[in-house]
Amino acid sequence: MIVYLLAAACAIGVVLIASRMVLRLRFGTDDADPDGPTSSHTGAMLSALFLLTFAIAIVVPWTSADAARSNTYTESQAVVEAYWAAGRLPAPDAERTRAELRDYVRVVRGPEWRLMAHGRMSPDGSARLDRIRREITALKAAGDESRDARAAVLDHLTEISAARHQRAMDARTTPPRALLVMTLLTGLVIILLPFLVGARPRGMALVPLALMSGLLAVGMYLTIDIAHVFTGALAVHPDAFTSVQAELLRITRGG
């Protein structure tokens, strides 16, 4: 943050020095008009800067939300495959593993999903997944079919674990704070620019200015609202795990 402030201070210093040099050299002409070349140049550059930061602040969270949503379906499908593979284990172990997988799904779509809105994961979910892995690893396979089933379950548990780690990263990912600050500052300056250059809009001239200001405010709020993958307008919901609960129940009933 200090580097950004130093860069801004240096740029302001360059402008002040250049203005003093031009004044001393008596070069150029005075420009105090609201629609003069200085105001036009500044307005155009501020508009371009705002559009650039606004586009990045929208595209980055949108892309992150799409990737996070796709990852939840990858994880839920791995749970289904592990559930099918667990059915090939010996009867007591199969029922216990399937019950723990159902509990894992319940924890993920319930308390853990609420924690992810704050960038955190439930330790209960990780503990359940680790317990299933330890139990399957320690399972004594009596034949080739049991060994194949155990290997298949472990493979799918690896997929679940990888997708879970990715989900944890998604829960902690937000656009850089400096980007959001830049978007808000440039938007605010654009709203106030006519007044800053000395214009005094009146009558019907205030209508488009007020309309633009309102729309800019909505856009700036949107960049904050969608900054987190699991909250706001683009929030990823636990739809994948909700549908998995029904599918696991169907598989248990032999449907």
The whole-angstrom separation of Cα 118 and Cα 230 is: 8
pLDDT at residue 145, rounded to an integer: 82
pLDDT at residue 196, rounded to an integer: 80
pLDDT at residue 233, rounded to an integer: 87
pLDDT at residue 114, rounded to an integer: 94
pLDDT at residue 25, rounded to an integer: 61
pLDDT at residue 44, rounded to an integer: 84
pLDDT at residue 30, rounded to an integer: 61
The CA–CA distances, whole Å, from 200 to 35, 36, 39, 56, 192 equal 12, 15, 14, 33, 11
pLDDT at residue 175, rounded to an integer: 87
pLDDT at residue 43, rounded to an integer: 78
pLDDT at residue 34, rounded to an integer: 63
User: If you search the block for the tokens 């200001």, which residue do you land on?
Assistant: 213
**Do 93 and 141 touch, CB atoms closer than 8 A?**
no
Segments of the chain with pLDDT less than 50: none
